[in-house]
């Protein structure tokens, strides 16, 4: 990763007028949307999209308790099995 380049870009963006910053954000959002909606061609592009999705996915720690994971609690009791 080129940290120096990223820092330079941040500095440039911060020196833009409010109107220019708004336009920059719009263009950046449009580019991101284009990347998300276009079909990736290479494995590198697919990996990048996957990593971006992982970074933006909700971080939820809602876990099921042990009782909910028991096999007999997963299936509906009213379903009969004909052997």
For residue 35, what pLDDT is reported?
A: 60
Side-chain-facing half-sphere of 21: CA atoms under 13 Å: 9
pTM, to two decimals: 0.36
**Distance separating alpha carbons of residues 46 and 35, to the nearest angstrom:** 10
For residue 36, what pLDDT is reported?
A: 61
CA-based max dimension of the chain:
75
Query: Other C-beta atoms within 10 Å of 11: how many?
Result: 9
pLDDT per residue rounded down to tens, the chain (83 residues): 678 888 888 898 889 898 888 888 888 777 666 666 667 678 888 888 888 888 877 777 667 788 887 888 777 766 555 55
Q: Phi/psi class of residue 54: alpha, beta or left (left: φ > 0; alpha: ψ in -120 to 50)? A: alpha
């Amino acid at each position: 990763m080129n940290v120096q380049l990223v820092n330079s870009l941040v500095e440039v963006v911060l020196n833009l007028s409010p109107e220019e910053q708004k336009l920059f954000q719009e263009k950046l959002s449009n580019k991101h949307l284009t990347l998300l909606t276009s079909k990736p061609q290479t494995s590198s592009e697919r990996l990048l999209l996957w990593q971006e999705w992982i970074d933006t996915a909700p971080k939820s720690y809602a876990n099921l308790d042990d009782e909910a994971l028991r096999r007999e609690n997963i299936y509906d009791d009213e379903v009969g099995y004909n052997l």
